[in-house]
Amino acid sequence: MYRITSIIITLFAFSILQSGCRQSSTHHIRISGAFALYPLAVKWAEEYKKTHPAIQFDISAGGAGKGLTDVLTGADDLGMFSRELTPEESAKGIWKVAVAKDAVLPTINAKNPLVHYIQQKGLTKAQFQRIFLSNGTLIWQSVIDTPVSVPVHVYTRSDASGAAETWAKYLGVKQENLKGTGIYGDPGLADAVLKDEYGVGFNNAIYIYDLQTGKKREGLEVIPIDINNNGKIDADENFYDSFDHVLQAISNGKYPSPPARPLYFIAKGKPDNPDVVEFLKWILTYGQSYVKSAGYVPLPEQTIQSSLQELNQQ
């Protein structure tokens, strides 16, 4: 009887020990924030888990504002962030590291009667300001020289969005100054323009182009930016036909910044969780090999080395 009891106690103790080991061997990294960075963050997590199976990820998109709130409250380890921090946000102890680059592009419904004319002419910054900063009913005749009366239905973001803030920065204002129907999230804004023949909006590049084909989503077109203000899209301004050409234009600076911009991971103070630090180091080294294929622009080597040096400092 004593022997049986001893065995049961031993097995029970071993079971508890094993359970404890299982719990301690699984670690979670919690991430939320910008829609712009979400697809790449998911790709990085999938690849990282292949060599670090004990790390589990909880990743959700909800806009840059949500990422900021979640790291400030301690709900998440990292926030996905798609704009520059304000001085007030930096004063709260927010730490950031650049991880990739992309751009916000203006969009139009492909069935718009003026779409081909607009794509040949492009729009200047002043014309975009006329569209996105005007109150009341708007027609294309008040924006460009055309005898055809076609309405302009403007869509913008309803959530605290890095894409909206970046597009507003290009226009010289803040997100709250943008006019139009507010839509939640990048996918929602793309769908709103797709469903409205007169719709005009803006999206992160990854939500305009099909990553598999490299072509624009059917029904969605890009409004080219007339960068030199000469009333037409010149050859070196015309790079919107494929995703590869757009990414190249972002990389070499032909597409202006803003609305091109770095994408960041942010945290409340410099991370000291070893799992988070190792994941960030992996992103800045091996993880950069997945950036281009995922539809983003890799970081310059100098930026990577500077960030790694900071992460390695105690």
Q: What is the DSSP string of 256-282?
A: -TTTEEEEEEEEESS---HHHHHHHHH
pLDDT given for residue 314 in this prediction: 65
Q: What is the DSSP string of 169-185?
A: HHTTS-GGG--SEEESS
Which residues in the chain are classed under CATH 3.40.190.10? 27-101+262-312, 103-252
In tens, the pLDDT along 293-309 reads: 898 999 889 999 999 99
Q: Establish whether the linkage from the previous residue to 258 is cis, with ω within 30° of 0.
A: yes
pLDDT given for residue 7 in this prediction: 44
Task: Kindly list the averaged pLDDT for each block of 10 residues, start to end, along the chain of length 314.
Answer: 46 42 67 94 97 96 94 96 92 95 96 96 97 91 90 94 93 96 94 97 94 94 97 96 94 94 95 95 96 90 93 82
Q: How far is 304 from 287, CA to CA, in rounded Å?
A: 11
Helical packing angle, 162-170 and 125-132, nearest 10°: 130
Give the three-state DSSP class for 24: helix
pLDDT given for residue 17 in this prediction: 41
pLDDT given for residue 147 in this prediction: 83
As its CATH architecture, domain 103-252 has 3-Layer(aba) Sandwich (3.40)
pLDDT given for residue 285 in this prediction: 96
Assessment of whether the complete model's pTM goes beyond 0.85:
no
Query: What rounded mean pLDDT belongs to the chain?
Result: 90
Give the fold, CATH level 3, of 27-101+262-312.
D-Maltodextrin-Binding Protein; domain 2 (3.40.190)
pLDDT given for residue 26 in this prediction: 65
Q: How far is 31 from 248, CA to CA, in rounded Å?
A: 28
Q: What is the DSSP string of 66-135?
A: HHHHHHHHTS-SEEEE-SPPPHHHHTTTEEEEEEEEEEEEEEEETT-TTHHHHHHH-B-HHHHHHHHS--
